[in-house]
Amino acid sequence: MALCNTPLRVGSLAASPRAVLPISPRQCPRIKGHGGPQTAAASASITLANHSGISTTQAPQQTESFLSRYALGAPLGQGAMGTVVSACDRVTGEEVAVKVVAKQSNAGRHQRSALHREASLWRRACAASRQAGRFIAIEEDASNYYIIAEKCNGGSLQQMLDDRGALSEVELSQVAWCVLTFLSDMHSQSMYYGDLKPGNVILKDVYPCSSDPGCLNVRVVDFGCSQLVTHGSPLRSLSGSPLFLAPEVITGAYGLPADMWAFGVMLFMLICNRLPFWLEPIPYLEQLDMDSIHDAIRYNPVLFAGPKWRGVSEELKDLICGLLEKDPARRLTAAKAMEHPWFESTKDMCTLAL
């Protein structure tokens, strides 16, 4: 979110020196979502300057200090630019998630502009979709910025994947319907989300639980890569997480279909804990340079290989192939994906969980 000369690191914050992409002074890696640590190159995002078409010049809120109103609790996630912690309103008792971003002495108004830009797009997303994590406020004091949002209690899909190795197809269908609803809502308002991956999708409630349905209801968080799309004007800024980038993002002219590509990569990853264009495990991909990653995305076929694909339905494979169509003009849209036969048996249950 902050604007600096920091290079993008693919993978963990201590990735191989070969996995470094120089980016412009108006871009930098940003903090992960509050779902906790993420895996491999999925954890590193490229953010962008203010190409959203919205005003981001706002004065600091003149209210009582954040720390006098909220008691900070345990950390929920750690990233290159700050920490996400739980917090409790001292008056109402409401628990929230707070992204704490230290002020950078050399960034000044550029850092404030980037954070307010993210907050403005997050507000728009909340108005568009119930599946967006609820934005509450952005505040600051002399030392930090505080982005205050709904606290979800189930952890991220990345944590679930790390703990369990994979989701079942039934579990995946419920999660996928919620995320697809979010994308459909965003795209109907010409909003490009820009960084879909398991670490940015948070379970609203602890799973498994006794209530049915509802345990696998999710919220999407972290809007630092989001942009508004104008018909006929492609987006061009390189942003997102490298292993989830659509081919057209790499070549520099893209739009809403790039979100659908990332959705397909995420479905593939959640069912087998691997990525679509490599047979190697994700940690191996930390060692790849960006050219190798880009070439695999652009030219390799989808590889349904390995024991975790045994028993997976042909309908799910067909859906993934439709999402990972390299030609964005032929790729499934959110509306078309919602009509796919794979969702037929779970659509009603998923709708009830919203």
Provide DSSP, 26-93. Answer: TB---PPPTT----GGGG--B---S-SSS----PPP-SS-HHHHEEEEEEEEEETTEEEEEEEETTT-
- Beta strand 135-140 pairing with 144-150: antiparallel
Feature table: binding site: 103
Which residues, other chains included, contact 311 with Cβ-Cβ below 8 Å and sequence gap of 6+?
none
240: left (phi over 0), alpha (psi -120 to 50) or beta: left
Q: Which long-range contacts (CB under 8 A, 24 or more apart) does 332-341 make?
A: 332/260, 333/187, 333/256, 333/257, 333/260, 334/180, 334/183, 334/184, 334/187, 334/259, 334/260, 335/184, 337/180, 337/260, 337/263, 338/180, 338/181, 338/184, 340/315, 341/315
For residues 75 and 170, give the distance between their C-alpha atoms in angstroms, rounded to a whole number.
31
User: Residue 246 has which token pair?
Assistant: 């659509």
* Chain-centroid distance, C-alpha 98: 17
For residues 281 and 265, give the distance between their C-alpha atoms in angstroms, rounded to a whole number.
14
Contact at 8 Å (CB) between 142 and 67?
no
**Residue 16 CB: number of other CB atoms within 10 A?**
14
* Helices first, then strands: H and E counts in the chain: 11, 11
Tokens 């406020």 sit on residue:
137
- Beta strand 191-192 pairing with 135-140: unpaired
Feature table: binding site for ATP: 103
DSSP3 helix / strand / coil % (the chain, rounded to 5) = 35, 20, 45
